[in-house]
Structure 1
């Protein structure tokens, strides 16, 4: 298990991370989401030792992560970290050797991963001559070539076409199924929702939510969508245990407090007019993310 334990980091007067804590279990794909500048990349760089934390620590299987353990992590930076004028095959073999693989094992690993990720025919090309999408595939090969025990990927899907996204998603899921903890950041929340077992949301350097999509939905209470024909204005406003989220043009969306009987809500809707639709609403991650970030206190509010 990878543990990030109360990590803090300050750059000058700016508190970039404040008591950031979460875990990534073996065999789990963990989505790390937040706006630009929220602290995702800083956290990942601390995991890798590129930055040092001012407080807290990073642990792998209960042991503080040191230089030896970091050799077993596969890292994909947001900014491509490849040598642009070096050939793909030479570069990947060089990186594999740096991680301790012998020459034959390194060559076999390069062949395996480049073929798996669809760049096996580009081994003799300079990185700078590849498309941005293929450079991204090679960057993932670099993270995988030494068979890492942990994968930490910063925006791995950026710039990929749908086919490449599917290939990369399949690879990450397969690594997780083999017991590898996988953490990646992304602004593509639909993809995060589809691929991840759990999600961590960071805002202004603080973790504001961690859990599965189902967990995040449960935080906001149950919601229902009703399509009532010609209801009177404000028909649902005074219903007990109900918050009106949307009401207009015959379309109403409600949030039901815990313990609210949805059949009571349905009866009230039928009294307001013919009900054409009544169903539970399962908000997508994009909406859950927005609600969680809006509900989180601004920096300094908790101490005020």
Structure 2
């Protein structure tokens, strides 16, 4: 069931191109140095390419998969020139991403359950842009004519509640909150109950971003999920992990820890416009086998974009 049309406008494509400029410039600078003076894709070039991909935050395991794919192409075609390397990389990385992103079946802004409200639990450490992502999502759902309720279940920090209130006021959507130090599960329960009672289409629940004690985090998230299911069986319908793309491989480590604490079903990778670490999108998606649903390529509300693997690869490799 889709409430958002998956349309990549010219303006959004330009924003994506601009947002990936630093990553692209850094990658091609390294790549051009790696193949300088070489005309054929051979073992030496592949060794250099492997290093370039790792240094571009694609990650070791994903890099090895890409190299294996290119080696297979070289073996099949017998001769590949270095001038073809860019196109080969486009095709193989798009193919790799297609294993976790089915463009035909998934509309990333679609609500995959017909039950109302559709409940999204948002997780991630402090500082990754979690609250901003929630606010931008709320704005985009509202722009599509859908009613939204926000739940301030990050009761560990007073600032988190205040920040979500600012977004609720800005977007003009209701927020359910309690005092700092309140039981997060109680806030989540009230939020879902409010959404159900008022016929809301979407309830978005913020959660605390602590990772210092994974056992406590796991217990807290499990409890939140359990109490929400008393109101809406099957909730949350989506567990969205927000990661800061500018932290590179640190984002991957966070992703692994949160995946161990709760069942993450989708990823949002933010702050890609201010960094040269855009390759982390490829590695995280591949290694976790969890689809990237949104990427942040700027400060504007519209700069939280649907992740389209083909558009992303096109922007990343378009010189």
Relative contact order, higher structure (CA 8 A, sep 6+): 2
Q: TM-score, normalised by structure 2?
A: 0.30
The structure with the largest strand share of the pair is 1
Higher helix proportion, which one? Answer: 2
Larger gyration radius, structure 1 or structure 2: 1
TM norm structure 1: 0.32
